[in-house]
């Protein structure tokens, strides 16, 4: 309906036509062969150029950027870049409100290792497109299970972490506070589970837990 409205308005000359720059991209092989910072900057520039088009029509084709579909769920699809350093998360429908709110919070929490690194966020109504870091699946081990379980229980029961408590790693208390707000103030459904937590590899074989999609 939204796309049809704008197409009719364009045909009648009421509004000017908007074209997507993704149909005329830069040399993709050069983008993905570049160092991560340079490649990321070029992808962000392409998506920012696509912003007006997406806001108007809600359309995006990740394959035009060389991305391939890796996974999908009830609310969205995940696409992987050829260099495997970035992913695009694309909402299926125009009702992905909770995820959009979480993305907005995550973009304010880029200092916090428990939140995903987000490089670009496009919205059309409540449909989201997010360019973010590529993360690994959560391992099925006792430590990972304990993290998911304790975080879910804290959020559901509204159990905050005292700032004076040194037992938890830096940033975890902020994560719990934000997730508690989303569940109890915004009234989103708590969806903290193993599929919605991933890991960021760290030097020495260690990993950082990253909460990617905790509410719905």
Q: How far is residue 24 from each of residues 34, 46, 64, 93, measured CA to CA in Å?
A: 19, 10, 9, 26
Q: Are 108 and 205 in contact (CB under 8 A)?
A: no
Domain ranges of the chain: 2-134, 137-211
For residue 7, pLDDT over 70 is answered with: no
Percent of residues, the chain, with pLDDT higher than 70: 93
> Which tens digit of pLDDT belongs to each residue from 148-184?
999 999 999 999 887 767 788 999 999 999 999 999 9
DSSP alpha helix (H) spans, the chain: 2-11, 28-33, 36-57, 97-107, 142-157, 172-184
DSSP alpha helix (H) spans, 12-68: 28-33, 36-57
Q: Determine the pLDDT at residue 6.
A: 57
Here the tokens at position 7 are: 């197409």
Q: Determine the pLDDT at residue 10.
A: 55
> Which tens digit of pLDDT belongs to each residue from 63-83?
999 999 998 877 789 999 999
Q: Are 48 and 42 in contact (CB under 8 A)?
A: no
Q: How is domain 2-134 classified at the CATH fold level?
A: Phosphorylase Kinase; domain 1 (3.30.200)
pLDDT band at 102 (very low <50, low <70, confident <90, very high): very high
Q: Determine the pLDDT at residue 8.
A: 58
Q: Determine the pLDDT at residue 94.
A: 80
Which pTM value belongs to this model? Answer: 0.92
């Amino acid at each position: 309906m939204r796309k049809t409205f704008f197409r009719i308005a364009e045909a009648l000359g009421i509004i000017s036509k908007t074209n997507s720059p993704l149909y005329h991209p830069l040399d993709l092989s050069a983008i993905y062969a570049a160092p991560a910072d340079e490649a990321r900057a070029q992808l962000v520039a392409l998506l920012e150029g696509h912003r007006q088009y997406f806001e108007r029509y809600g359309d995006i084709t990740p394959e035009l950027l060389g991305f391939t579909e890796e996974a999908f769920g009830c609310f969205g699809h995940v696409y992987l870049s050829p260099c495997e350093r970035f992913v695009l998360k694309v909402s299926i429908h125009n009702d992905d409100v909770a995820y959009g709110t979480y993305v907005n919070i995550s973009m304010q929490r880029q200092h916090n290792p428990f939140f995903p690194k987000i490089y670009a966020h496009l919205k059309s109504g409540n449909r989201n497109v997010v360019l973010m870091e590529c993360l690994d699946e959560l391992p099925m081990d006792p430590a990972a299970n304990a993290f998911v379980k304790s975080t879910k229980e804290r959020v559901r029961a509204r159990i905050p972490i005292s700032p004076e408590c040194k037992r938890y790693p830096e940033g975890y208390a902020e994560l719990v506070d934000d997730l508690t707000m989303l569940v109890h103030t915004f009234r989103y459904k708590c969806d903290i589970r193993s599929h919605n937590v991933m890991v960021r590899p760290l030097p020495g074989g260690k990993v950082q837990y990253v909460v990617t999609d905790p509410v719905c």
